[in-house]
């Protein structure tokens, strides 16, 4: 209980410092990480090492992705490619369905691509669509974030769900199928939340240039296929890597598999996307290539700093024996699939990382499955879905995804709590309701 009180007070102080006292999130989270570590009895050397490694680990996993994604986004906006993509989508679906299209795009992209990477890659489209549809950027960003998050938390081959399937010895094919189905109500709830709640948050799209300015400058906008290519190429390559890594080894285990795994790594895929984006730059503007890339790198600095500090805070929390404290206090409740949901939700709220919450909770549940009656293939899959629902609930200041969504969508912290945190809470509750109903019908 002591640890949870410390974490609760820390999160409260974090919110106050960022929102009320206008302190920079980077400074606040580093300071809070140190205070929490000292208050919970971590040694000074261990604490410093944990803060540094937490920052470094998150930078190692998504730092280059954020940098490359920001460069691609800058080029797509400045060349008018983002506008071409927005116009192409609006021609197909109409302005009334642009938000739903963004949610569905996120749902599909989130299957092979990590939600952080997916949001970075797709945010230029969200911004351009918001501008062309005369809709607040908050609505587009929330719908995109929710679609990505649903499949990220529930559908293999994302690392969390695939690790849970392995730990709980669940059927991978069944887990994918059930995950895809249960992600649908989660995505719908995110779409409704985006329209009804995020719609009250007014964030202008602030595109780099208007269509008229771009046409005057270049004479024409890039073609649709060329415009989509820097975004589609990384998504396709990452998807192929996910397929190659399946236990069934569809591409074998030789040179082809290794080649696909290499170019499908998010870092390599995004670097290739950067080079493809550069081909969009008109001949007359080639002299500005260095300037535009530098601008992309500069724009990413704040996002990297805040994301890294969030990683430090999460790493400090992970050093505490929270999982052990949870298991002893919750196991006697006899609440079926609500138990893994509650454990995962508490870990998610405390630690911030969905994948860590999934892996930790599934490891805690593994020895209990038989005694709780979760032995059939479907029962095991529903436990995975319950943990996935918990790991959505909720994304806030200690979660790197919270900062990626807010910083790429021009949200201040208060707006991000309303849009991202509120939306992930609704998604998690919607998902566990669906999972509970299914468990009552199919698991006896």
Cα dihedral 162, 165, 171, 176, rounded to 10, equals -40
Structure confidence at residue 329 as a pLDDT band (50, 70, 90):
low
Q: Which of 291-300, 337-346, 347-356 has the lowest mean pLDDT?
A: 347-356
In the chain, domain spans: 58-158+203-289
Q: For residues 351 and 345, give the distance between their C-alpha atoms in angstroms, rounded to a whole number.
A: 10
Cis peptide before 36 (omega within 30 of 0): no
pLDDT mean over 268-275: 92
Over 70: is that where the pLDDT of 295 sits? yes
Structure confidence at residue 381 as a pLDDT band (50, 70, 90):
very high
Looking at every residue in the chain, the average pLDDT score rounds to: 87
Burial per residue of 80-98, b for 16 or more beta-carbon CB atoms within 10 angstroms, e otherwise: bbbbbbbbbbbeebeeeeb
Pull the structure tokens for residue 69.
């994604």
Pull the structure tokens for residue 266.
């998010």
pLDDT at position 59: 87
User: Is 17:46 a contact under the CB 8 Å cutoff?
Assistant: no
pLDDT digits over 71-119, tens only? 988 888 788 888 788 788 888 888 888 999 999 999 988 887 788 888 9
For 297-384, where are the E strands, in sequence order?
A: none
pLDDT at position 226: 92
Pull the structure tokens for residue 417.
């709590």
For residue 97, the number of C-alpha atoms closer than 13 Å in the C-beta half-sphere is: 9
Residue with more model confidence, 61 or 183: 183
pLDDT mean over 305-332: 73
Q: For residues 177 and 208, give the distance between their C-alpha atoms in angstroms, rounded to a whole number.
A: 41
Q: For residues 90 and 117, give the distance between their C-alpha atoms in angstroms, rounded to a whole number.
A: 24
pLDDT at position 328: 60
Q: For residues 444 and 438, give the distance between their C-alpha atoms in angstroms, rounded to a whole number.
A: 11
pLDDT digits over 205-248, tens only? 887 666 677 777 666 788 989 988 998 898 888 888 878 887 77
Q: For residues 267 and 273, give the distance between their C-alpha atoms in angstroms, rounded to a whole number.
A: 10
User: Is 425:393 a contact under the CB 8 Å cutoff?
Assistant: yes
Measure the N-to-C terminal CA separation of the chain; round to a whole number of Å: 34
pLDDT at position 324: 64
């Amino acid at each position: 209980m002591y640890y949870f009180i410390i974490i609760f007070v820390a999160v409260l102080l974090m919110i106050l410092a960022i929102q009320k006292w206008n302190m920079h999130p980077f400074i606040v989270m580093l300071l809070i990480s140190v205070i929490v570590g000292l208050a919970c009895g971590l040694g000074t050397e261990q604490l410093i090492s944990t803060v540094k490694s937490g920052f470094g680990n998150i930078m190692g996993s998504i730092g280059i992705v954020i940098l490359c994604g920001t460069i691609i986004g800058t080029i797509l906006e400045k060349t008018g490619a983002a506008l071409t993509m927005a116009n192409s989508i609006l021609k197909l679906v109409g302005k009334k369905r642009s938000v739903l299209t963004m949610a569905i795009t996120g749902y599909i992209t989130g299957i092979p691509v990590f939600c952080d990477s997916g949001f970075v890659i797709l945010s230029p489209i969200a911004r351009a669509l918001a501008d062309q549809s005369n809709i607040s950027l908050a609505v587009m960003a929330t719908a995109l974030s929710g679609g990505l998050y649903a499949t990220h938390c529930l559908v293999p081959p994302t690392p969390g769900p695939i690790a849970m399937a392995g730990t709980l010895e669940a059927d991978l094919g069944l887990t994918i199928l059930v995950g895809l189905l249960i992600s649908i109500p989660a995505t719908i709830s995110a779409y409704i939340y985006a329209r009804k709640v995020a719609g009250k948050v007014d964030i202008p799209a602030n595109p780099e240039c208007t269509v008229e300015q771009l046409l005057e400058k270049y004479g024409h906008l890039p073609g649709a296929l060329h415009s989509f290519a820097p975004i589609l190429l990384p998504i396709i390559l990452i998807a192929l890597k996910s397929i190659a890594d399946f236990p069934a080894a569809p591409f074998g285990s030789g040179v082809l598999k290794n080649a696909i795994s290499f170019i499908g790594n998010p870092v390599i895929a995004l670097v290739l996307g950067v080079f493809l984006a550069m081909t969009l730059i008109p001949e007359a503007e080639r002299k500005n290539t260095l300037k535009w890339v530098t601008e992309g790198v500069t724009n990413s600095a704040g996002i990297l700093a805040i994301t890294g500090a969030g990683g430090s805070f999460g790493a400090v929390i992970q050093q505490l024996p929270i999982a052990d404290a949870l298991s002893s206090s919750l196991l006697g409740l006899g609440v079926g699939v609500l138990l893994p949901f509650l454990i995962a939700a508490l870990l998610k709220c405390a630690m911030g990382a969905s994948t860590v919450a999934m892996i930790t909770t599934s490891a805690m549940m593994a020895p209990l499955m038989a005694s709780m009656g979760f032995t059939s293939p479907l029962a095991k899959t529903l436990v995975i879905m319950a943990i996935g629902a918990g790991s959505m609930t909720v994304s806030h200041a200690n979660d790197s995804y919270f900062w990626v969504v807010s910083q790429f969508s021009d949200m201040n912290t208060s707006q991000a709590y309303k849009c991202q945190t509120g939306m992930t809470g609704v998604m998690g509750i919607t998902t566990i309701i669906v999972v509970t109903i299914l468990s009552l019908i199919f698991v006896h």
